[in-house]
């Protein structure tokens, strides 16, 4: 076996949707009629993110980092891994490969808003 067998991921998922939702509920309780629709929409969006799996959150983050430098193409391609490592130099090759796979899985499932298609459209 190559390596030490540890599955270390450099990306830590911070789950603060509950705290955001609580703050939005407090604001909604004292909001004017004009502010209520926007706060209600924000609360619904925060609530929808509460149950997202860690892999989905990491995949969305990785997709944003991969495409931030202008990369257009499959999110699990070798070039995508290279783009991710250029955007985040602290990632090991193993970590970048895993994150690019998670990014591709999110893009395929439709959960990855903001990813770019391979043809650049």
Domain extents for the chain? Answer: 17-49, 54-109
φ/ψ of residue 37, rounded to 5: -60, -45
From first to last of its 121 residues, the chain has per-residue pLDDT tens of: 455 555 566 666 677 778 888 999 999 999 999 999 999 999 998 888 777 888 998 999 999 999 998 999 999 999 999 999 999 999 999 999 999 999 999 988 875 444 343 333 3
Q: Give the Cα separation of 36 and 59 in Å (integer).
A: 32
Residue labelled with tokens 């070798």: 78
Indicate the DSSP class of residue 56: H
Q: Give the Cα separation of 80 and 112 in Å (integer).
A: 15
Q: Give the Cα separation of 35 and 41 in Å (integer).
A: 10
Answer whether 72's CB lies under 8 Å from 118's CB.
yes
Residue labelled with tokens 């892999």: 55
Q: Give the Cα separation of 103 and 96 in Å (integer).
A: 10
């Amino acid at each position: 076996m190559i390596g030490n067998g540890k599955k270390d991921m450099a990306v830590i998922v911070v789950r603060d949707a509950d705290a955001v939702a609580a703050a939005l509920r407090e604001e909604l309780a004292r909001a004017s009629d004009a502010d209520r629709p926007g706060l209600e929409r924000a609360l619904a969006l925060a609530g929808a993110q509460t149950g997202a799996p860690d892999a989905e959150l990491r995949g969305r983050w990785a997709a944003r980092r991969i495409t931030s430098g202008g990369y257009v193409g499959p999110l699990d391609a070798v070039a995508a891994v290279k783009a991710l490592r250029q955007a985040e130099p602290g990632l090991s090759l193993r970590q970048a490969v895993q994150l690019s796979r998670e990014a591709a899985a999110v893009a395929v499932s439709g959960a990855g808003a903001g990813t770019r298609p391979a043809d650049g459209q």
